[in-house]
Structure 1
Amino acid sequence: MKKNDVLELVSQELLPALDKEIQRTRELEKWSQHGGRKPVLPSNAEREHKALADLAMTPWLGLIPRVSAQQLKVDGVYSPDRSDESLALFWGPWQTNNMGTLQHTVHRSALSFGMGFVSAVPGDRGAVFRAYSTAQMLPVYQDPVHDEFPMFALRMETLPNGDRMLFLLDETTEHILSVEKRTDKWAYITLSDHNVGVCPVVRYAEEIDTEGRSPGEIERLVTVGSRINKTVYDRLLTQHYNSWKVRTATGLDDTMSDSEAEQLKMKLRQNDILTGGEGVSFGTLAETALDPFVKAKESDLEDISAVSQTPMSALGKMVNVGNDGVAETKSGLRAKTRLRQDSFGASHVQLLRLASHIEGRKADSEDFTIEAHWKTLDIDLLAQEADAYGKMAGMLGVPVEKLWEKFSTISKPEAQSWARYREDHPTADEITARSIAGQLESAL
């Protein structure tokens, strides 16, 4: 693209769209890190009310993507048609770019804000990966659902003085621009060729729909998060003003002025003993119970648990149930985790195929049989499946090789590698059986 075309595209279309994404992302960050929006207060709210509203903020919604991300860790790739040596070469860029750690950042970003992005460009040691959030990068797709790579992607960096550096990536070039904050003056600085042949950005989508939208886990829960903040604020308000008995007195001297009565009231403390003369009677007003507010908050947390498929135990509530009950409470999270593994796993392999293309390994870049292998982090589920399938093998005589691929915690390529290893390394009994079978066959 020509300089003027780049300036017009970025200033008129891409940067306004990126600014909207930045605003949306920053708002979701408030919910993730600080608890979101404060409860609505009246215009004449006192300082104590505002302080209580601050205390009501709890970042519940940030917990949901963290719990989901903690279930996700890629530790290798597998293919039924590839040797371990060739897969090690395919896996190399993952290790040189420290993706073992960086993947957690990418997963959390995609789960929190709907999408995350990783770019891959040529470097001194091969492909170089960089991770970005929706507040840093805006890719544009011709078909946002089916296209593997975007047409172009705009990346932004904000300098300490508020000026912005903009980087527009297309199929062959990175264009560098700047915008001065004070004057809003645009400048085209330079360009550099990467010559990858595609816009080298890989998208990680939390749960994309048929229109290319992916809202993320936090955005779905903002309404419930607002409700929790209001419930907690109401409880704090009640706790602050009405959580103790109020003592009353009638028949006191009514000749005092309002200011004198106010001074007398100020002198009374919670542990004061009240006395009076003839015609004075004392009583109490009951305190407001806090239990309804506590139960209301628990109800809101149950809504978050149901909508996000997150066990209540992850939200701080322990439920006294047996092993079957525990497994049932985790079933939704496990189903969600498998869905994320399909989506993020495809993106990880796409990134590694892009790296292979950059490094000149054509066969690797065109191999669509390779799959990401996810490390088993749910030990309880693995133990349950091992126990169930072990009983099928022992009690029903089902060959164990036929059961390996049924494990949801073990990938199909890994089960196939087990079968190959079993074939290449028979047990002593199998060697003896094969020998006897060979002798019988020769005798016949």
Structure 2
Amino acid sequence: MSSADSPSPTALARQLLAILSRDGGRLKRIDDYLHGKHDDPYMPPQADDEYRLLAGRSVSNWLPLLVDAPAQALYVDGFRPGGADGGLPATESATAEWSHWQRSRLDARQAAVYRGALSYGHSFTVTEKSRTGHVRTKGLSALRTSALFEDAANDDTPHAALSVTTWPSADSAGRARLWDARAEYTVRFLSLDDPKSVVVSDARRHGASACPVTRFAASVDLEGRTLGVVEPMIRLQDRINQTVFDLLLAQSYGSTKVRTVSGMGPPIQRDPETGEPVLDELGNPVPLRINHNNRRFLFAEDPDVRFGSLDETPLQGFIESVEMSTRQLAAVSQTPPHFMLGQIANLSAEALLAAETALNRKILEFRTSFGESWERVFRLAAELSGHASSADDHQGEVIWRDMESRSLAQSADALGKLRTQLDIPARGLWARVPGVTQTELEDWEQKAEEDDSIGQLATALQRATPEPASPSTAVAA
């Protein structure tokens, strides 16, 4: 799209605010369910306060677990740039780019980006240069941010993006930040649905050659639609809540035996002076209240009186229904059942690994998608930092932390076999040590170079030894 055909910043702001208005209801529903604000289970219209109290207690919010399970296995530990001339890594550039990561405190803040993308389908980051000249990246919420793509299914670079910083109120207009391929703007608006109130001002260059906003999408189809892990599970969550509500009703009203008696009239109140029955307004005898509990017995003098009991309502069927719905939720969401049901007794390591296979495949899919987004962030950071070669590095890749449950001894044994049996260089295996960070790898590299006394001596001797004269030079002499 040429600059002449590009919409004006005001037109872009109106489009992006309209996207927020269009998707706001759906994202708000996802946010409510994620934080336990679910629809009430079905109850009769004449339900009393006790019913509504039980309905509130029936909410069993499984949805945060569906987000936490993959999010806790997503952790970037380092960045490996692509090959420079001769295929050697650009170490100096990689150090500068990783410094941008550390300065942005993304070791801790990256989790919020993943959780936002997994919850709502997408989240965003913006990479920009601060007033002090340092490049930083921070996350943007999907509830406040929208982006325009020429091809939303395939493009990783937005045409423009907008993020609301202040929502409008009765006293003041809302404010937002707008980015396009060249500049950043300040947007003021009175309502998401009022395009005439949109005012764009304060244009300034952001320094990048493209929009500095990057989308992190959990799943994107060929129509460009994003989908998280919460929205498809809302109906199953409602089913679990309904079953738990029915269980609470049965537990509250029918889980105890009911004692019955037939053929016996209750004792009545009598006047202490005359002994005559006390009558109510309708002329009926007033019965005495019977204080009956587990420590008291009922007895009758009349042989025709019959005592009995009504059995309690069995709760096992409700419990099995809850477990069945929970297992279905685990299967559809690719979450290991023992994560949700806590049934891990007598399970071998192989059985646990098999149970987590589906989740691990899901995590690998997320790592592939999010890894591409982080690589774009590193290219933006390199460009804003002045590293032109790294800004066009499409071979770089992020290094994800190995989160599999293995002991250090097992990992060391496996890495040792790779070194001896496959003759893989030892330094090439350092990054596969569980829990190692980018800073530790750089420290190991520095210490290895300092400890390589033989290599340093060979280099010094090679420099000190004069080169032999060539044959042509000797003949000429």
Give the TM interval when normalised to the shorter protein: 0.7 to 0.9
Whether the aligned pair in 1 keeps the contact of 2:157 and 2:210 (CA below 8 Å) is yes
Q: 1:223 aligns with which of 235, 238, 262?
A: 235
Q: Find the partner of 2:58 among 41, 47, 56.
A: 56
Distance of aligned partners of 1:266 and 1:350 in 2 relative to their CA distance in 1, 3 Å threshold: farther
Question: Shift of the alpha carbon at 1:286?
Answer: 0.8
State the shift of 1:259 in Å: 12
> Which amino acid in the other structure matches residue 137 of structure 2?
F
1:186 matched to which residue of 2?
A: 197
Q: Which residue of structure 2 aligns with residue 116 of structure 1? A: 123
1:10-54 per-position Cα deviation (integer Å, ceiling 9, x unaligned)? 44x432321232222221122211152221222111111100010
Determine the C-alpha separation between the residues in 2 that align with 1:369 and 1:271.
80
With over 3 angstroms needed to count, the CA separation of the structure-2 counterparts of 1:266 and 1:391, relative to structure 1, is farther
Letter in 1 for 2:301: G
Alignment counterpart, residue 139 of structure 1, candidates 147, 161, 182? 147
- Matching residue within 164, 186, 210 for 2:174: 164
Helix, strand or coil at the partner of 1:221: helix
Q: TM-score, normalised by structure 1?
A: 0.82
Give, in angstroms, the shift of residue 262 of structure 1.
11
Q: How many residues align?
A: 422
Q: Specify which structure has the higher proportion of helix.
A: 1
Note if contact 1:170-1:199 (Cα within 8 Å) is conserved in structure 2.
yes
Q: Tell whether the 8 Å contact from 1:121 to 1:194 is kept in structure 2 after alignment.
A: no
Q: Deviations over 1:160-201 (max 9, x none)?
A: 845422332211223323233699671515222224231211
Evaluate the alpha carbon distance shift between residue 356 and residue 50 of structure 1 in structure 2; reply closer, same or farther with a 3 A threshold: same
| Structure 2: distance between partners of 1:266 and 1:334 | 63
What is the TM-score with the length of structure 2 in the denominator?
0.77
Aligned 8 A contact 1:174 1:193 in 2:
yes
Asked if 1:311 is matched to 2:323, the reply is: no
Amino acid at match of 2:245: Y
1:102-146 deviation per Cα after TM superposition (whole angstroms, max 9, x unaligned): 101101101111101001223223323231121110101010122
Comparing 87-96 with 183-192, which one deviates more in the overlay?
A: 183-192
- Say which SS state the counterpart of residue 380 (structure 1) adopts: coil
Q: What is the Cα-based RMSD across aligned positions, in Å? A: 3.9
Q: Report whether the alignment pairs 1:24 with 2:26.
A: yes
| Partners of 1:90 and 1:364 within 8 A in 2 | no
2:379 to 353, 356, 361: 353
2:295 paired with 1:285: no
Distance 1:329 1:129, change over 3 A: same
> Where does residue 366 of structure 1 map in the other structure?
392
Contact 2:12 2:160 in 1 (8 A): no
- The CA distance in 1 between the partners of 2:245 and 2:287, in whole Å, is 30
**In 2 relative to 1, CA 173–216 (structure 1 residues): closer, same or farther, beyond 3 Å?**
same
Deviations 1:361-410, CA, capped at 9 Å, x for gaps: 1101111121100112223288767666767888xx554559969x8989
Structure 2 equivalent of residue 251 of structure 1: 263
The match for 1:67 is 69
Q: Which has the larger radius of gyration?
A: 2
Q: Of residues 89, 100, 112 in structure 2, which corresponds to 1:82?
A: 89
Q: Percent identity?
A: 27
Q: CA 1:49 to 1:202, structure 2 compared with 1: closer, same or farther past 3 Å?
A: same
Residues 13, 187 of structure 2: 8 Å contact kept: no
- 1:127 maps to which residue? 135
Contact kept in structure 2, 1:145 and 1:210, CA below 8 Å: yes
| Alpha-carbon distance in structure 1 between the residues aligned to 2:148 and 2:21 | 14
Mapped to 2, the partners of 1:201 and 1:288 lie a distance apart of 58
Contact 1:115 1:134 (8 Å CA) reproduced: yes
User: What corresponds to 1:99 in structure 2?
Assistant: 106
Specify which of 326, 334, 341 is matched with residue 360 of structure 2.
334
Deviation at 1:204, TM superposition (A): 0.5
The CA distance in 2 between the partners of 1:226 and 1:53, in whole Å, is 12
Deviation at 1:274, TM superposition (A): 2.4
In structure 1, what is the Cα distance between the partners aligned to 2:156 and 2:392? 13
Q: Deviations over 1:65-97 (max 9, x none)?
A: 112111111111114531433311122211111
* Partner of residue 442, structure 1: none
Question: For residue 325 of structure 2, what is the aligned residue in structure 1?
Answer: 300
Alpha-carbon separation, structure 2, partners of 1:222 and 1:228: 10
Give the distance between the partners of 1:252 and 1:52, measured in 2 at CA. 36
Query: Which deviates further from its counterpart, 360-369 or 188-197?
Result: 188-197
Between the aligned partners of 1:105 and 1:262, the Cα distance in structure 2 is: 68
> In the alignment, does 2:401 pair up with 1:375?
yes
